[in-house]
Amino acid sequence: MRDCYEILGVDRSADADSIKKAYRKLAMQYHPDKNPGNAEAEEKFKEAASAYEILSNPEKKAQYDRFGWQAFQNGGGGRGGAGAGFQDMEDIFSSFGDIFGDFFGGGMSSSQRSRSRTGPRRGSDLRYMTEITLKDVIEGAEKEIEFETDDNCDVCNGSGVEKGKQPQSCNTCGGQGQVRVTQGFFQMLSTCPTCQGRGSIVKDPCKPCKGRGRVKQDRKIKITIPPGVDNGTRLRVSGEGEGGFRGGEAGDLFVEVRVKEDSRFEREGDHLYGRIDPDYVQLLLGAEVEAETVTGKLKVKIPKGAQVGEQIRVAGEGVPGLRSGRRGDLYVTLGVHFPEKLTKDEERLLKEIAEKRGIGLSEGSRISFWGRKK
Ligand SMILES: [Zn+2]
Ligand SMILES: [Zn+2]
């Protein structure tokens, strides 16, 4: 996919207003009402909408700026998760319809509108962000998430009309939901101001939904986060998005994962990297030490004579692969800890060692320079 900024023809430093303007201009240019049957225009229209969807949302924009399309395309190769971007024209209008508002009156062509206003229609997809820990990444987790969404009113099945009553055809538009208006050089179809495009007037509104045909619903669901997910992985929960319209299918819920940083470990693919600082004596004599990891205690064997900066590989203590389930490795870099103060006894012993090894401590003891690294 092309770069979002390139698609909209704006600079990376463009502010929200210029981004919106640039999108609006492209959306007008490639609008399906102005390019009937032009597949290329439709592609351009979708492309611009996909770019705008990201750049108009500060959170997504920040992610895009860091990771590019990568951030939205199946995360780290995760399961589920549709690619970024819009496939369906109706999704574009339901997301950004307002941007066309004063020009195209809602934006859908007449055939699209009549289909969506009266027939069943799929609910929108929803997005949800959840934060997890590195421990959750390793072990997998169950999360309960809560959100509010729109659902079809079951009492009137989305018509907004009280049971047993009939909606009345709108006189202004003759039941079409649209009226012709002339704007500049164009003659356009615009949403009927009397019925707001429904084509009918509700004289007896359904009580539970107050004539909207939709009801708010609090949703609480449990999601399973598989081991191995990474920052930006999107999990698709089928059918948990916004409820469908008039018997249409529900949308999907996309849960995007953010992994809280653990200051002790860095992740690269399925491997983890960390450091321990053994006491200089442990380093010299070799030792078996135990260190706290995110999931428990881990034994690390420090070989006798190990050097500072040396890396010890602990197999199978990394992060599980999302597909394979096989855990990567943990690489432990050895630092060193020297005591800040020595007891008299320690000092005496160390001086003895120095003497035995012929290591000079006084003025004039020789040492060599090396390059900075090593
Ligand atoms: Zn209702
Ligand atoms: Zn009307």
Centre of ligand 1 to C-alpha 21, Å, is 37
pLDDT digits (tens, 9 = 90+) for 88-142: 665 666 556 555 543 443 344 433 444 445 678 888 999 999 999 999 999 999 9
Centre of ligand 1 to C-alpha 156, Å, is 4
pTM (global) more than 0.85? no
Centre of ligand 1 to C-alpha 155, Å, is 5
Identify the domain boundary among 228, 260, 292: 260
pLDDT at 84 exceeding the cut of 60: no
**d(Cα 54, Cα 67) in Å, to the nearest integer?**
12
Residue 249 sits in the same domain as residue 130: yes
* Nearest-ligand number for the alpha carbon of 213: 1
In a domain, 185, yes or no: no
In a domain, 96, yes or no: no
Residue 140 sits in the same domain as residue 255: yes
* Nearest-ligand number for the alpha carbon of 189: 2
Question: With the CA atoms of 78, 82, 85 and 90 taken in that order, what torsion angle do they form, in degrees rounded to the nearest 10?
Answer: -160
Centre of ligand 1 to C-alpha 217, Å, is 13
Domain count, the chain: 3
CATH number of the domain enclosing 327 = 2.60.260.20
Q: On the CB side of 106, how many CA atoms lie within 13 Å of its CA?
A: 21
Question: With the CA atoms of 311, 316, 320 and 326 taken in that order, what torsion angle do they form, in degrees rounded to the nearest 10?
Answer: 130
Residue 128 sits in the same domain as residue 218: yes
pLDDT digits (tens, 9 = 90+) for 292-322: 999 999 999 999 989 999 999 999 999 999 9
Centre of ligand 2 to C-alpha 288, Å, is 80
**d(Cα 277, Cα 309) in Å, to the nearest integer?**
10
Centre of ligand 1 to C-alpha 357, Å, is 91
